[in-house]
Amino acid sequence: MPTDLFKDFLTSEDTLRIYTGDMLAFASKKDRLLPLMEYLATYGAICQTVTIYDKIMGNAAALLAVKANAREVYSPLGSKLAIQTLEKHNIKHHISEVVPYIMRDDGKGMCPMEELSLGKEPEEFYKVMKARIAKSS
């Protein structure tokens, strides 16, 4: 069943889907880390384990997946840094293409969120992201 959900996700316009069991709990078409941050703001206190389908699983997203109580993640693209974080927190991962790190949109260096996530624990990174979002609102 998860393989069918992943195939369906890949052909959709969604950038993120989060399932509790076989029930879709959250979906978004927004870019970057905003969908995961919205999910955490809305459902963060719920301790139920989830399965996350994300179009890009960089280390920043992996840290937020830990915070979201993910037990498994699926992504067509992920970084080695993300895999290290997921393995450290015993989260199963199914990543189609693995790259050393997520690149900036212009292809010149590491994605700013990937860079910001380096050396941080999930809760610490989440707080940094909340502060950044509050500051930009």
Does the structure show a pLDDT above 70 at 2? no
- Rounded distance, CA 77 to CA 114, Å? 14
User: Which pLDDT band holds residue 87 (cuts at 50, 70, 90)?
Assistant: very high
Domain positions in the chain are 2-131
Tell me which of 41-55, 62-76, 77-91 is least confident: 41-55
How much is the pLDDT for 131? 93
Burial-class residue 91 by CB neighbours within 10 Å (0-12, 13-18, 19+): buried
How much is the pLDDT for 45? 64
CATH topology for 2-131 is Cytidine Deaminase; domain 2 (3.40.140)
In the numeric block, which tokens belong to residue 70? 């993910």
